[in-house]
A and B are shown apart, each in its own frame.
Chain A
Amino acid sequence: MKTENSTEQQSAAFFQEMQLAVFKRTDHMFAGLMIAQWIFGIICALVVSPRAWEGEVSHIHIHVWAAIFLGGILTALPVTMAWLQPGWVFTRHLIAFTQMLWSALLIHLTGGRIETHFHVFGSLAFLAFYRDWPVLITATVVVAADHFLRGWYWPQSVYGVVAASPWRWLEHTGWVVFEDVFLIAVCIKSKHEMQEICARRARLENVNKETERLIWERTAELEQANQLTEIQAKRLVRSNGELQQFAYVASHDLQEPLRMISSYLQLISKRYQGKLDKDADEYIGFAVDGAVRLKRLINDLLDYSRIDTQGKQHIETNSEEVLKRALSNLKMAIEESGTVVTYDPLPPIIADDGQLERLFQNLVGNGIKYRKKDVSQKIHISAKESNGDWVFSVRDNGIGIAKEHFNRIFTIFQRLHTSGVYPGTGIGLSVCRKIVENHGGHIWVESEPGTGSTFYFSVPKKMPKGNST
């Protein structure tokens, strides 16, 4: 209901605005016409009746003075009002009044020529430009009054008879009214059309406003959601940082008590091995083994957390040299397992050489660990350029991985085998992923169980901004 009222009020305001514009425009047009009529009247008087004669003597004809002064007076007020007070109701009614007097004056100056009477009908049509029918009534009243008064005083000059019927003026006015009927109908129709246009405009503007309001609301909601996401992202980063710090501190601080437990357990194992009963020996063995595994887990966790906390500047690094260092670290495992490791020439890249060494070491180490029994394990490392990245691959002919585990293996603590079958902590590949991501790259695997696996990782040729450490 409120919106409907608002639309109606707006529509009414638009209509008033449009109507005022029409009134003002027509006032100005009539001001121009009045001046043109004045000039025309003077020219007409100068051409048709410049001088009046008495034998050989002549003087300026009264028509010339009438055209100049009466025409000037007639023109002055409506033109001034159209200039000073356009759109005012009094202005247009005065213009209608004056325009009809101009018709009378022009008819007079042209000697009552029938052709000049068309000025009356033309003026009525022109007055209809106001789209305000009462203006036509004013004009018609002037025509009627003019015919009535002149017919009363000078019937011969108006009707060509000495004693015209007192109702004769109505006959003349009737033809004006005849035109008025159509013009008034046009004015009313035109006014309704204007109102319809304004109502449509008001409706359209309301729809636009409503749309704008909805957009504004949605934008505000979106901004709020963005702010929330930003806050949550910051919290997440902070929480992640804290977690990493916690993991580092925890694993670092756990090392000392663990070292003590491990030392004493080994001491107990050496001193009491075979001196107690069989069960005790077995329990001591479990405890020693647990302590060893716990130590490995803590070391791996420490490595994982160090990736972020102890990263170095990324600089141009000879990846082949780094690979050689990693292979050197793995020398014993390679020789014990009989693995054959080969590699292609590798490119220099922008990287943290320590982390890259760890990456190669983990991937090659996995290749060695997950080998098939009774099959000579082969590992080959290569690199190729692809879409602005260097893509490294570490291919082996080991046991392979089922497709459904491709993503899972890069998650921390996720293992596909028990530690009894393949020892490990489930941290190695998650460390690899973290190193690669720190370098702005991706890591993935392609594999078929029983055939072997190829681990790929990409490193951008140019280091992305913000990844300098």
Chain B
Amino acid sequence: MKKRTIIYLISPLWLCLVGFGMLQLWNYANTPGKSGLAPSSWPESSHLSLSKLVPTMVIFAHPHCPCSQATAGELNEILAKVHRKLTVYVLFVSPKNPKEDWTETKLWSDTKAIPGVQTLLDEGGIEAKRFGAKSSGQVNLYDVFGRLVFSGGITSARGHYGDNLGKSAVISFVNDKKVTRSTTPVFGCTLYED
């Protein structure tokens, strides 16, 4: 059989394999993580304090989650656009008695480097559970009265940078007091095992 005939026969098979692989990849990227139910008002039991002057945003992240690197990038953009009219807590969830190097990650250091962000360790995921966060990249936005304004992710897919509904919802509320969207899917690793 001639080489070209073999290539013609192989090509559709190759195309199917490539198509299947691409589809799996895109499907994974666009499949949200586990979703939790965020409390509609600021949980009284939380150790975090709600700002009475500007909206408060709480972000939960897994320090090793590669997808959440994009969340840190989007957070950086949000803060550049809201001009300090936002209090931001980023809570890195860790197991109880975590190893010393648990938070020694690029995500941790990148987040700490963002001005106006308070980076905290949520040992055992206590605060995450209080705020109903199950996946890394979960963002809860509360107004000055402690009412939940937005809950979800601020990336469009797993580890995907770029404009997205969650980011624009946060910016819109902080800058214009408009609620464009109250929830979006969260794309990230599971914060803790159930």
Contacts and interface: CB of A to CB of B under 8 A. Distances in A.
Interface in B1-26: 3-4, 7, 10-11, 14, 17-18, 21-22, 24-26
Interface stretch (B38-46, B138-146, B160-168, B171-179): B160-168
B18 A50 contact: no
Contacts of B88: none
A69 B22 contact: no
Interface in B82-129: 95
A56 interface: yes
B191 A55 contact: yes
A61 interface: yes
Interface of B: 3-4, 7, 10-11, 14, 17-18, 21-22, 24-26, 28-30, 62, 64-67, 69-70, 95, 136, 156-157, 159-165, 168, 189-193
A340 interface: no
B193 A55 contact: yes
Nearest to A77: B14
B190 A111 contact: no
Contacts of A108: 25-26, 29
A29 interface: no
Contacts of A53: 62, 64-65, 136, 189-190
Residue of A56, A69, A81, A85 ringed by the most chain B CB atoms within 10 A: A56
Nearest to A111: B159
Q: What 4 A-B pairs have minimum CB-CB distances, sorted nearest first?
A: A160-B163, A49-B66, A70-B21, A157-B157
A114 B161 CA distance: 8
A113 B162 CA distance: 8
B22 A161 contact: no
Given A73-B18, A160-B163, A94 B25 contact: no
Listed residue (A50, A54, A88) with the most chain B CB atoms within 10 angstroms of its CB: A54
A77 B15 CA distance: 10
A157 B30 contact: yes
Contacts of A77: 7, 10-11, 14
B26 A112 contact: no
A66 B26 contact: no
A363 interface: no
A251 B145 CA distance: 155
Contacts of B62: 53, 55
A252 to B, nearest CB: 92
A160 B21 contact: no
Contacts of A157: 26, 29-30, 156-157, 160
B191 to A, nearest CB: 7
A48 B105 CA distance: 12
Contact of A111 (B11, B65, B70, B164): B70
A51 B165 contact: no
A70 B157 contact: no
A280 B155 CA distance: 155
Nearest to A107: B160
B193 A156 contact: no
9 contacts: A54-B190, A55-B191, A56-B193, A85-B7, A111-B70, A112-B159, A112-B161, A153-B26, A153-B30
Interface in A349-365: none
B7 A111 contact: no
A101 B14 CA distance: 13
B149 to A, nearest CB: 19
Contacts of A62: 24-25, 28
A24 to B, nearest CB: 15
Given A55-B190, A61-B66, A66-B25, A90 B157 contact: no
Given A50-B66, A52-B189, A94 B11 contact: yes
B4 A70 contact: no
